[in-house]
Amino acid sequence: MADTRDHEISVEQQHLDRAYRRLLEKIDEAEFLMRDAAKLGHVGTPGALAERDAQVHRAGVHLNRLNNEFEDFVFGRIDLLAGKDGKKGPDGAYTAVEVAENAIGPDNTADIAETLHIGRIGVLDTDYSPLVIDWRAPAAAPFYRSTPVAPGRVVRRRVIRSKGRRVLGVEDDLMRPELTAFLGGTPLPAVGDGALMAALGRSRGHSMHDIVASIQAEQDLVIRAPAASVTLVEGGPGTGKTAVALHRAAYLLYQDRRRYAGGILIVSPTPLLVAYTEGVLPSLGEEGQVAIRALGDLADDAAGPGGASAYDSPAVARVKGSARMGGVLRRAARGALELPVAGAFPGTDQSEANGQLTLAAPGRPTAPPERLRVVAFGRRVELGPEVLKSVRRTALSGSGPINYLRPRARRLLLDALWERSGGADRHNDPELAAELRSAFDEDITSEDSFTEFLDAWWPELKPRRVLAAMASERRLGRWSRRVLDQGEVRRVARSLRRLDPETGAGPLSVHDVALLDELHAVLGAPARPKRPRAYDALAELTGVEELMPQREESRRERAERLAAERTEYAHVIVDEAQDLTPMQWRMVGRRGRHATWTVVGDPAQSSWPDPEEAAAARDEALGTRPRRRFTLTVNYRNPAEVAAVANQVLALAMPGTEPPRAVRSTGLAPRYVVAADHGGLAASVRAETERLLGEVEGTIGVVVAMNRRGEAARWLADLGPRVVALGSLEAKGLEYDATLVAAPAEIAEESVVGLRVLYVALTRATQRLTVVAGDRDAPDETGVPDLLRD
Ligand SMILES: Nc1ncnc2c1ncn2[C@@H]1O[C@H](COP(=O)(O)OP(=O)(O)OP(=O)(O)O)[C@@H](O)[C@H]1O
């Protein structure tokens, strides 16, 4: 067996060497083309330039990926029977899916008619035969889809493990074990015992790995689902939803790069999950087409560098996330026109009511003016509070964002002044009257007092300032009358006191970001320079420079810039969709008004208390496009021993929910420890974490209730980078070799959805789980907390 294995490894090594040789040739060609392109940049038709540049760009991308990103660029192989017809696709592989009638002999012998190697990029040989097929190409689908039950043409499926340019091992699965197959006259051997299990047993680091070598059939169906509509994917913890979502983005880009030039947005719940997933597929970051963003970082510039950093208690979050806030914000935006304005307005101010004209101290906010006084045709014309109110009402009845209604308000003011001036009665001749009117308008609008009045009376409103204005309970109460109750008003107002009342500067919570984004839509923002959408050959030429040394803007920087400039996307992928609040759905929906969607989630892990309200907001965001539903059923993360504990909590959190099936078992039962009374939790958590450090090679996640985040970080501060302290809500989507869940009852009691949050915490471990019972856990004599018992 060892001989066969070594032989097979050397066979794959030879193939890999050939693929690398061919790539080096292509790199040489690319370098030549790059030099050539630099020389000939000014001659040739735009079409020829574009074609050459695209070639250079592609070659450079290959080069870059190979050199920097991938260690194991060829990872699979399939050996296939002859297909029904002899047609070949553009990648040089036969396209037939069904087996040719005479492919299998009467004594169950068969010849292998085609061998395909699968890799992260495709490579054609000089004769256009495929040396490596891109994993996203149709010809690679059988590598993922074939099973012994439905083998198709596949006889043997092989996963190749390599490091750098060296093949280290092979693992084979026979899809047709009943056949004796021959390759070039020799029987086809099978080596190893399954690639999936080997992949799942690997210890975990702080970032996610791709799964291209071991995508399972049910996952492949989702990854390659047509993008024409909405793809909804549900599945329990560890079923690969995040992995599938990321691979789907890579697949869609490969399928139709031009269509997705409009961008793919991947929305993640937390910055931790973004950091964890960002590097999974380097091909995603390549050309600025894919943006992976946390919900707190989605509204441009809203939260500032690093995104949302403040935390809202569940009670506050519940109000801020609710769809009811939509109406409140619309009223707030209108009401904000009445807010005091910074800077002096000489025309009038509050004290004008006493007949005195005073100037406010520079920079000090003053109430908006209540009177407009101008001089026209040598006469004073004045509009009082009632007229101004009515003008504002009329202006606001127009459709569109409030900041864009200012020109309309200005016109209405001029109309009112004109009427008040009696100018309309001076001439009967319409032409003369019109002339007079335009002279009147010019007269008035050239007066500083008019412009200053307008700036104070209809200022340009900024979302942050309006949000900060909601920190006043009195104001918020007015703006949310009959929508929020008194307690809700108080809670929301208090939470906004961390913002500067004048500028709105200050730390935001992830829920504030959705509110700001809504305000942005209601108020309107200055138009931004448009990015050219169409394919622009000359613009693309910059790709050449990027591949050269001393480039001005790296590919990554360009990707980030393009992503930042984009406000709408061609495809939107929502991860952990069960957690989006209605206000967040509205925010995400605005980025995908014309998009197709992939939405992945697990209702049993939802931390939003009102699923119906969220579903309604989701439906509004997704529109009426047709939907395709998929369910993932296999848990690849948790060993069966860990999943069994989590399932106890699932039964309490969502009775009747079918848990996913765990594929692995480690034989290691979870460990239960009871913390000593009075502050013993810290000592026990620390001691147990140290113990886990000795038991696993990779990472350890220690999950505590949100209000213990800070102290848990201190308990574990000096234990090194393998240990991470997490608040319960931060654990979402992440995984660790070992997880320690501290005081589960505290997590369960944190909010009305605490049990679901605890379920998330208990499903993070890939190998070991330790539970430390706290004061409220009522452990039995073996230390098992009440909530986790059978
Ligand atoms: N086909 C596969 N081959 C190898 N590993 C896989 C496969 N599918 C999933 N995994 C691994 O299983 C783990 C769980 O995957 P992932 O995080 O995508 O699951 P999830 O459904 O998003 O989980 P959760 O709902 O808990 O966030 C990851 O380590 C992932 O790499």
What confidence tier does 550 reach under pLDDT thresholds 50, 70, 90? very low
DSSP secondary structure code for residue 218 in this structure: H
| 47 labeled binding residue | no
CB atoms within 10 A of CB 409: 21
Q: DSSP states of 691-711 as a string?
A: HHHHH-SS-EEEEE-GGGHHH
Beta carbon of 265 within 6 Å of any ligand 1 atom: no
Element housing 201 (H / E)? helix 195-201
Tens-digit pLDDT profile for residues 568-578: 899 999 999 99
Residue with tokens 């109000």: 319
DSSP category for residue 509: B
The helices-and-strands tally (H runs, E runs) of the chain is 27, 24
**What pLDDT score does 356 carry?**
35
Question: Parallel, antiparallel, or unpaired: how do β-strands 571-574 and 264-268 relate?
Answer: parallel
Say if strands 186-187 and 180-183 run parallel, antiparallel, or are unpaired. antiparallel
The β-bridge partners of 741 are 703, 771
Closest-CA residue, ligand 1 atom 25, reads: 237
The pair of structure tokens assigned to 7 is 């032989």
Nearest ligand 1 atom to alpha carbon 605: 25
- Closest of 106, 112, 110, 76 to residue 94, by C-alpha: 112
Other C-beta atoms lying within 10 Å of the C-beta of residue 228: 10
Q: Does residue 235 line the site of ligand 1, with CB under 6 A?
A: yes
Q: Is the CB of 756 under 6 A from ligand 1?
A: no
pLDDT, one tens digit per residue, over 245-304 is 999 988 888 788 778 878 899 999 888 888 888 777 665 655 568 888 999 988 866 666
DSSP code at position 429: S
Q: How many Å apart are CA 507 and CA 310, to the nearest integer?
A: 6
Cβ-based neighbour number of residue 394 at 10 Å: 14
Say if ligand 1 is within 6 A of residue 144 CB.
Answer: no
Is 487 assigned a ligand-binding role in the annotation?
no
- Do the Cβ atoms of 700 and 724 come closer than 8 Å? yes
Residue written as token pair 């066969």: 4
- Indicate the pTM of the whole model: 0.81
| 235 appears as a binding residue in the annotation | yes
| DSSP 3-state of 645 | helix
> According to the annotation, is 152 in a ligand binding site?
no
Residue closest via CA to ligand 1's atom 30 equals: 240
Tokens representing 522 are: 């209601």
Task: Quote the CA–CA distance of 21 and 487 in Å, as a whole number.
Answer: 70
> Is any ligand 1 atom within 6 A of the Cβ of residue 383?
no
pLDDT for res 565: 61
As a dihedral over the C-alpha atoms of residue 99, residue 100, residue 102, residue 104, rounded to 10 degrees, the angle is -20
180 labeled part of a ligand binding site:
no
Tell the residue number behind the tokens 């939790």, with chain if given. 681
In tens, the pLDDT along 507-525 reads 999 999 999 999 999 998 6
Condensed to tens digits (0 to 9), the pLDDT of residues 86-143 reads 888 888 888 888 899 999 988 889 999 999 999 888 888 888 889 999 888 999 999 8
CB contact at 8 A, 757 and 751: yes
**Gap between the Cα atoms of 395 and 659, Å rounded:** 56
CA–CA separation, 301 and 297 (whole Å)? 8
Nearest CA to ligand 1 atom 9: 240
From the list 286, 282, 284, 306, the residue with the least C-alpha distance to 294 is 306
Rounded to the nearest 5°, which phi and psi values hold at 741? -105, 120
DSSP single-letter state for residue 11: H
